[in-house]
Structure 1
């Protein structure tokens, strides 16, 4: 089944998919960060939303 691109939130709220524009838009707004910062965090700790939050708290 293909992703429904009309959805504005993540399909799996425990993971961040930086390859889907609607998920990037959701996570940057939810976390209050830029796309670049989101990419940096995901590269540093992986796609776990919890790990990204923890990484950002330490910044």
Structure 2
């Protein structure tokens, strides 16, 4: 499902959309990992919640 760019509320910022390249790019730069690691984290956790992905990547990559 496409990201609704007209929605700018908190819930939209608390998620990382795996189908939006700019969101993956921002999150990978923030976490210091590759795009592949971000997409892999989304698949591995089954979640696109930013906090869940941050925790997973910190444990996995020691960041």
Query: Structure 2 regions of 5+ residues with no counterpart?
Result: none
- CA positional deviation for 1:13: 2.2
**2:13 aligned with 1:22:** no
Is residue 39 of structure 1 aligned with residue 39 of structure 2? Answer: yes
Instruction: Give the number of aligned pairs.
Output: 52
Structure with the larger helix share? 2
CA RMSD in angstroms comes to 1.8
2:49 paired residue number = 48
| TM-score, length basis structure 2 | 0.70
For residues 30-53 of structure 1, give each alpha carbon's deviation from its aligned partner in whole angstroms, at most 9, with x where no partner exists.
Answer: 111101000110111110110011
TM-score under structure 1 normalisation?
0.74
